[in-house]
């Protein structure tokens, strides 16, 4: 009986996560270009809320971490702490060329590389900055991953 209840609760949690993933946005060193495009994506014009996506105010309530910018020496510890504070299962989206591999800040004295040098990244969204359509495409890929569907790797995404 207890197992039945636990299974039902687990199914309800998965259903809720699929229909409304809560995301946390963290700028680990971006020039703010990617952040502005992300903000545009949650406005009514692009309306990413139609996929149930909502911004979470705390890492403790977030399913997905959307990270922008390269990882700077100053932000690395905060990035790791935020990720550790998120409940499992947790997912990471790297947004923009800098988050993918350092971008224009590659090999700068104060940067350490892209997000995947420190965290397991589930979805990469290229572009400098990525347009809202590319970000929405990344959200759809992430939802496919949450559903356990195969996510195409290496396919060109709109920049």
The residues binding ligand SF4 (CB under 6 A) are 30-31, 33-34, 68-69, 96-98, 103-104, 128-129
Yes or no: say if 125 and 95 are a contact pair by the CB < 8 Å rule: yes
The least distance separating ligand SF4 from the CB of residue 24, rounded to whole angstroms, comes to 17
Cβ closer to ligand SF4: 82 or 146? 82
Cβ closer to ligand SF4: 21 or 29? 29
Q: Residue with CB nearest ligand SF4? A: 33
Cβ closer to ligand SF4: 31 or 146? 31
**Environment class of residue 130 by beta-carbon count within 10 Å: exposed (0-12), middle (13-18) or buried (19+)?**
buried
Full DSSP string of 70-90: PPBTTTHHHHHHHHHHSPSS-
The separation between the first and the last C-alpha atoms of the chain, rounded to the nearest angstrom, is 50
Yes or no: say if 95 and 116 are a contact pair by the CB < 8 Å rule: no
The least distance separating ligand SF4 from the CB of residue 128, rounded to whole angstroms, comes to 3
67/120 Cα distance (integer angstroms): 12
Cβ closer to ligand SF4: 17 or 70? 70
The least distance separating ligand SF4 from the CB of residue 10, rounded to whole angstroms, comes to 37
The least distance separating ligand SF4 from the CB of residue 130, rounded to whole angstroms, comes to 8
């Amino acid at each position: 009986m207890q197992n039945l209840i636990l299974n039902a609760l687990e199914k309800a949690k998965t259903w809720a996560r699929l229909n409304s993933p809560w995301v946390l946005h963290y700028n680990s060193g971006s020039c703010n270009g990617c952040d502005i495009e992300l903000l545009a994506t949650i406005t009514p014009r692009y309306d990413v809320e139609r996929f149930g996506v909502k911004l979470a105010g705390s890492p403790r309530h977030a399913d997905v971490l959307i990270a922008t910018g390269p990882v700077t020496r100053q932000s690395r510890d905060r990035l790791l702490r935020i990720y550790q504070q998120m409940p499992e299962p947790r997912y990471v989206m790297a947004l923009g060329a800098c988050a993918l591999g350092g971008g224009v800040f590659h090999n700068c004295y104060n940067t350490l590389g892209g997000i995947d040098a420190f965290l397991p990244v589930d979805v990469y969204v290229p572009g400098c900055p990525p347009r809202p359509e590319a970000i929405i495409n990344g959200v759809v890929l992430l939802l496919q991953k949450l559903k356990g569907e195969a996510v195409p790797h290496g396919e060109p995404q709109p920049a």
